[in-house]
Amino acid sequence: MNHGNPSDASFRLLYRIGAIAAFVFLLFTLVPLVLMIVQPLPPYGGGAALLEFIAAHPLLYVAELVCFTGLSIPAMVFFLALGVALWPSGKDLALLGSVLGIGSEIAALAFASSPPSLNGGLLGLSAQYMAANEGLRPSIAAAAAALQAFANGFTLIGVLTALGIFIVSIPMRRSSFPGWVSILGLITGGSGMILEATRDLVGPLYALYGILLLVWPAGIGYGLLRLSTSGIDNVIEKGQ
């Protein structure tokens, strides 16, 4: 059965780029997760402690900051491709889900902040703190604590991203994407909304969402890549 999939030649390049973006997103998610397992985490409390941590682990901090905020760029691309691909299967939900996903990633990128305690401005404050005398350090540490609270308060953006994942997965059930990708998206988005909202409370359980964010983009990339190479009359049946 043909599910009304816009996989003509005018969209194939978009799907191909979206597939690549999904795999880049996967990579940008994997790298900081591995670093967080094998290296110490930035401290959540105390501006001075965080600034000293950044000074002691500058490359680690920059790598996590670049990956966690930089993944917003490929995310925007594949959410756009998903919105187009799923449009015939449910215009309202495809549009709403893709707009939520893109909007949340724009906000994350604009503020260059992300839990845990990641903010570009803290790099400069760390250098100032280490070079300052004892009289100036408390004021710099207070400024860092404010930026740290700002970065760790970005859970709402994570909730909106998870909501976007959940919503686009609903019309995906009626599309040419394999059925397992839709089910995985519903699980990823549903659990992501809960775990993002309770991130400071669930502790290690949050890693479950991180694992799902490694598997779900792979499914999205796979589905978009198949769309980019198939004609509208040769769409692979749902769930195959």
Q: Is residue 71 part of a domain?
A: yes
In the chain, the number of structural domains is 1
In a domain, 239, yes or no: no
- Whether residue 72 lies inside any domain: the answer is yes
Q: What angle do CA 210, 211, 215 make, to 5 degrees?
A: 120
Model pTM score: 0.82
CB 170, CB 98: distance < 8 Å:
no
In a domain, 3, yes or no: no
The residue-averaged pLDDT of 122-131 equals 91
The CA-atom distances, in angstroms, between 163 and each of 42, 75, 99 are: 27, 14, 11
Q: What mean pLDDT, rounded, does the chain reach?
A: 85
Query: How does strand 118-119 pair with strand 113-114?
Result: antiparallel
Query: Does any domain span residue 238?
Result: no
> Tens digits of per-residue pLDDT, 77-118?
999 999 999 998 999 999 999 999 999 999 888 877 676 778
Per-residue pLDDT of 166-181, as tens digits, reads 999 999 998 989 999 9
pLDDT at 126: 92
In a domain, 237, yes or no: no
- Per the model's pLDDT, the better-predicted residue between 43 and 22 turns out to be 22
Say if 52 falls within a structural domain: yes
pLDDT single digits (tens) 143-157: 988 888 877 776 788
Domain region containing 114: 9-229
> Number of H helices and number of E strands within the chain?
11, 2
pLDDT per position as a tens digit, 181-207: 999 999 999 999 999 888 878 877 888
- 240 pLDDT above the threshold of 70: no
Counting residues of the chain whose pLDDT is more than 90, the rounded percentage is 47
